[in-house]
Structure 1
Amino acid sequence: MKISGADLHLLSVFDSVVRNGGFSAAQAELGLSQPTISNHITALETRLGVILCQRGRRGFQLTDKGRQVHEIAVDLLRRIDQHSISLTALKGSLVGQLKIAVVDCVASDPALKLTEAVHRLNDEAPGIRIEIEVEKQGGILRRLAEGDIHAGIGSFDNKIKGLSYANLYEESHSLYCGRAHPLFSTPDGDITQQDMDRCVWVHRGYWSRERKKSQQVIEADRIVDQIEAQLLFVLSGDYIGLLPDHAADAYVVSGRLRKLPPHEDNFDCMMQLVHRSGPHPKTFQIFRETLVGLYRSRTSGRGGAVART
């Protein structure tokens, strides 16, 4: 079949529905009502002659043909977007989409220069449409490999072939407890490593294996995937946990958290900008140069430099 502009619109709607997990969930992104979205999908099914998904009481489910169509749609829409950027670049304008994914709970870190980079980019190249999403470490690497995003920011213990990593800054993690925890009012000198090890911990699952030195995960411990969830457990007063210092600082000042004495599991992690190796659109090159340049200017006075791996 010959693909028309109307077909591309229908495929774009279908992609949004799949990514959001259903018709109602896609309404906000598309700016369309649920009946209108349903009509679009029905029109696409009629055009292709296949059933793309099941919808009803059991929720939204892709058919096998639907999965195949979605894979084709994603590849097609991505290629069109890339070629649109290339064609626009011929006339010297910096326009296009720039998709960045970051790990959770980084907005409170003054060491993160992403907001400054976004501000400079908006000022110097207002035609670039910047999108920022929050994603897990594994999700960032997966989406980079699939070409769904241009860059990610986080700390990555596992290095994947085909991706480039630029060191930005270090993030310090320390052990904290909430106001209702027995250790909260105990003097530092009276708290031993064993006292902290005997407490119930809340761990982040993606680091519990690689990072832990002494503390073994027990049945009473909790394992979460987000810092925000970990913070809530610690604030309850029933758990202790390793939190980024920048995320805990405000709660320490307000008296809701206490930073415990140094524990051997405390650690620093390197926050990195990660992206696919190889050539990139000019829009991404400008973003990378802007962000990395902010760290180079900060470290040059101390003889430092942003490292690339």
Structure 2
Amino acid sequence: MSQLDFNERDLRSLRIFCTVAQAGGFTAAEQRLNMSKASISRHIRDVEERLGVRLCERGPAGFKLTAAGIVALEMASNALKYLERIRTEIDSVRGVLSGTLSIGMVEHLITHDACKIPEALAELKRRAPDVQPEIIVMTFANLSQALRERRVEVAIRGMYVKDRMFNYGPLFVEVHRVYGALQPGQKSHSQVPLVYRPHPFVEQTLAQHGFERGPDAGGLETIALLAATGNYCGLLPEHYANLVAQRYAIEPLPDGPEFHNTICAITEASRPLTRRVELFLDILEELHSDQVGI
């Protein structure tokens, strides 16, 4: 079987193919690449000829990856990421930290009094000015998946149940309660449906505390909005609910459950840590070291 030896032009064409595929077509990629459609098309044809397969369908019906194109996109994206890491890893050996630090976080952590993540990023910039943080906000479930797929290097979320695939660095504790709003004329909360989202505490509340499942929600903002109507209740972090309560009369249900959630900096156990990740974890630990009960 012949071996493919990629030259510099091939690598450039692969980068262009990945950009077009991620953008969803030639038109969307034109501005990102600052290239004409004709030039982009020529690079795509070069990659297809090099690999001996058609990677995408393009025409009046629009842009669509073929089965081979889907495989090529995944393999090329991973290969290009590793190539891009060569410089940062060499810099690391020389004692110079550089490159992108990918951090995934759940929403609204910054509103917690004990959260020192902005301070940690500022200190990281002071100690390693060539490291560029990339912050992505995701749900609990999506963060775990992103860690497994190595789309983020550090995930900052609750611990819940420990998974052997991950290492956990405790930062601070947030409290979750079920909140609702009294409608005019009501003297107490009636048993109203619990707004649902895929989350360990929500599942536990429904399974163990007799709540009826209410409408689905995409995040804390939606849960708070529905709870503020008085027609539903929702599980919210106490620090976030306190901010909402400044405008809307939501309050914790007196007989509702209470959960204590340890927010952690989480990394994949089998993935070697780069020096920039180690530095960021050390800074997080230093700044959150005064948290008791963790």
**In the alignment, what sits opposite 1:285?**
278
Cα distance change, pair 82–61 in 1 and its aligned pair in 2 (3 A) = same
Bigger mean CA deviation after superposition, 111-120 or 142-151: 142-151
**In the alignment, what sits opposite 1:154?**
157
Q: How does 1:1-309 map to 2 (within 5 A)?
A: 1-19=4-22, 30=32, 32=34, 35=37, 39=41, 41-55=44-58, 60-178=63-181, 182=183, 186=186, 190-191=187-188, 195=190, 198-207=191-200, 208-212=202-206, 213-218=208-213, 221-254=214-247, 256-278=248-270, 279-296=272-289, 298-299=290-291
Cα distance change, pair 35–248 in 1 and its aligned pair in 2 (3 A) = farther
Cα distance change, pair 261–27 in 1 and its aligned pair in 2 (3 A) = farther
Task: Give the distance between the partners of 2:6 and 2:158, measured in 1 at CA.
Answer: 41
1:171 aligns to what SS in structure 2?
A: strand
Task: Give the distance between the partners of 1:91 and 1:52, measured in 2 at CA.
Answer: 40
The one-letter code matched in structure 2 to 1:191 is: S
Whether contact under 8 Å (1:128, 1:283) holds in the other structure is yes
The one-letter code matched in structure 1 to 2:110 is: A
Task: Give the distance between the partners of 2:230 and 2:37, measured in 1 at CA.
Answer: 47
Deviation of 1:285 (Å):
0.6
Count of residues paired in the alignment = 287
Identity of aligned residues (%): 25
Whether contact under 8 Å (1:174, 1:259) holds in the other structure is no
Cα distance change, pair 272–58 in 1 and its aligned pair in 2 (3 A) = farther
Task: Give the distance between the partners of 2:150 and 2:173, measured in 1 at CA.
Answer: 27
Cα distance change, pair 19–149 in 1 and its aligned pair in 2 (3 A) = farther
The one-letter code matched in structure 2 to 1:69 is: A
2:256 aligns to what SS in structure 1?
A: coil
Bigger mean CA deviation after superposition, 81-90 or 5-14: 5-14
Whether contact under 8 Å (2:180, 2:253) holds in the other structure is no
Unmatched runs of 5 consecutive residues or more in structure 1: none
The one-letter code matched in structure 2 to 1:258 is: I
Cα distance change, pair 155–185 in 1 and its aligned pair in 2 (3 A) = farther
Task: Give the distance between the partners of 2:245 and 2:24, measured in 1 at CA.
Answer: 39
Task: Give the distance between the partners of 1:105 and 1:24, measured in 2 at CA.
Answer: 35
Unmatched runs of 5 consecutive residues or more in structure 2: none
Task: Give the distance between the partners of 1:37 and 1:243, measured in 2 at CA.
Answer: 51
The one-letter code matched in structure 2 to 1:103 is: V
1:2 aligns to what SS in structure 2?
A: coil
Deviation of 1:175 (Å):
2.5
Task: Give the distance between the partners of 1:55 and 1:280, measured in 2 at CA.
Answer: 41
Task: Give the distance between the partners of 1:234 and 1:24, measured in 2 at CA.
Answer: 43
Cα distance change, pair 277–42 in 1 and its aligned pair in 2 (3 A) = same
Deviation of 1:262 (Å):
2.5
Bigger mean CA deviation after superposition, 242-251 or 44-53: 44-53
TM-score normalised by the chain length of structure 2: 0.83
Cα RMSD (Å): 3.0
Whether contact under 8 Å (2:177, 2:256) holds in the other structure is no
TM-score normalised by the chain length of structure 1: 0.80
Cα distance change, pair 167–234 in 1 and its aligned pair in 2 (3 A) = same
Cα distance change, pair 291–138 in 1 and its aligned pair in 2 (3 A) = same
Deviation of 1:158 (Å):
4.6
